[in-house]
């Protein structure tokens, strides 16, 4: 199944969501989205610095307008979701991007899909749990190491919560 033909219907507004692979023409938009969300296009997870604007990924479109971005990295038969950004929340766009990333991981023969978020991002943690992920590790004080690679990571995050730990979630595809 080609990603260019994958479409889904958003839950709330019954809108058609089209998922496609990143194109070269998305470059400026991707950089803008990543800078707005992450402070730069550099993202750290588990001690690895990713240049997220250079990673493969998926774009969600609604009415031919880009409304979501998911970047990923495949290594050791596992697909890591490096970034997930949704412009319009609670319309099924994030879920659809995750579903397509899982489909893609399965087609690559991956054993799991995993993601890192920070301890302050309770909304993301709950979202990933709703789409079939489980918390598998809490990497205490990991953000101290992450800030060595990306000093612009703030000390405090959502609702003023100190950003200290990485939360690892996974969705197992095969044992």
The per-residue pLDDT for range 114-168, each reduced to its tens digit, is 999 999 999 999 999 999 999 999 999 999 999 999 999 999 998 899 999 999 9
How far apart are alpha carbons 24 and 37 in whole angstroms? Answer: 20
Task: Look at residue 82 and tell me whether its pLDDT is greater than 80.
Answer: yes
Mean pLDDT, residues 30-43 taken together:
92
d(CA 85, CA 100): 14
- Mean pLDDT for the stretch of residues 18-25: 95
Instruction: Flag whether pLDDT at 7 surpasses 60.
Output: no
pLDDT of residue 14 exceeding 70, the answer is no
Quick one: how far is CA 52 from the chain centroid? 10
Domain 3-172, second-level architecture: 3-Layer(aba) Sandwich (3.40)
User: What mean pLDDT do residues 166-173 have?
Assistant: 97
Q: What percent of the chain has pLDDT over 70?
A: 91
pLDDT for residue 89 is more than 90: no
So what's the pLDDT on residue 158? Answer: 86
What value does the mean pLDDT take over residues 101-126?
96
pLDDT (0 to 100) of residue 13: 47
What pTM, to 2 d.p., does this model score? 0.89
CA gyration radius for the chain?
16
Looking at residue 90, its pLDDT comes to 80
Q: What is the Cα–Cα distance from 96 to 15, expressed in whole angstroms?
A: 12
Look at 12 and 145; give whichever has higher pLDDT. Answer: 145
Three-class SS state of 43? strand
């Amino acid at each position: 199944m080609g990603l260019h033909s994958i479409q889904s219907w958003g839950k709330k507004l019954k809108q058609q969501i089209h998922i496609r692979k990143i194109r070269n023409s998305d470059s400026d938009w991707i950089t803008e989205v990543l800078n707005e969300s992450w402070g730069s296009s550099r993202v750290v997870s588990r001690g690895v610095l990713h240049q997220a604007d250079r990673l493969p990924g998926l774009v969600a479109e609604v009415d031919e307008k880009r409304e979501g971005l998911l970047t990923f990295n495949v290594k050791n038969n596992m697909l890591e979701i490096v970034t997930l950004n949704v412009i319009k929340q609670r319309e099924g766009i994030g879920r659809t991007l995750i579903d397509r990333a899982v489909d893609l991981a399965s087609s690559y023969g991956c054993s799991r899909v995993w993601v890192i978020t920070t301890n302050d991002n309770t909304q993301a943690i709950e979202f990933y749990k709703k789409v079939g992920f489980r918390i598998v590790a809490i990497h205490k004080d990991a953000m101290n190491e992450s800030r060595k690679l990306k000093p612009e990571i703030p000390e405090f995050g959502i609702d003023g919560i100190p950003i200290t730990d990485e939360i690892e979630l996974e969705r197992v595809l095969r044992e």
